[in-house]
Amino acid sequence: MLLPVLVLFIDVAEAIVIVAPSNFMLNGKLMLSMRDHQSEARTLPAFLGGTVVGAAIGTLLLPILPDRSLRIVLVVAIVLFLINRLRPGSADLSESQSRRLAAPVGVVAGGFQGAAGISGPIVSPWFLSVGIGRDAYIFSIATVFALSGLVQIVVLAAQGLFTMTLFLLSVALIPMSYLIFPLGKTLRERVSLEAFERIVLVLLGCSAISLVVKLL
């Protein structure tokens, strides 16, 4: 959620560098808190393998791609996410389809994460479509985001993109992410899933509109 807001004020590449460490920490904590459901996470190992490859490739391309192109990719990613969340639910994938497509879809998701800092438009619909429970779904997407985020951080550091200023800003966000974690847990318990999702969709929609206006 923070990335679409930051890119309204700074370059996409800089925003990705700033939020990468806190995203990794937050998703890593969420993954550990839900690890009892890892046995229910269908297709996760194959999907993760593809995600690692895609995240490395996407992050390597990050300094090369023009900022305008990255903004366009980010808008497209947000719009895809909104479309997938607002459309009527589709049937779950069969076991053979899930097994065959998990790694390729993971590559695409990792590529989006590395190059645009967002992979929710691919990750979320995928794990919704494989027919797993809510807790296994949360564990799966948190694991994907944590692992792809770790790959992203390593590649960004190797490329020398963590300037001192960006590094300090990224470190400052880490304790904030830990403060948000119990808030997210409370919201999941007290706010209905439908109401919480509507809030997130509205915020993402506003961010996409703002990005489009800035591109014009």
Mean pLDDT of 75-86: 77
Please determine, for residue 205, whether its predicted confidence score (pLDDT) is greater than 70.
yes
Count of structural domains, the chain: 1
Which residue type is seen at 39? S
- Check: CB of residue 119 under 8 Å from CB of residue 106: no
pLDDT digits (tens, 9 = 90+) for 107-124: 988 888 887 777 777 887
Q: What is the pLDDT of residue 191?
A: 65
CA distance 153 to 191: 33
Token readout for 7 is: 């890119």
Enclosing domain of residue 142: 2-215
Q: Quickly state the pLDDT bin for 184 (edges 50, 70, 90).
A: low
**For a pLDDT cut of 90, what percent of the chain falls above it?**
12
Helix (H, G, I), strand (E, B) or coil at 195: helix
CA distance 3 to 145: 14
CA distance 151 to 87: 32
Please determine, for residue 54, whether its predicted confidence score (pLDDT) is greater than 70.
yes
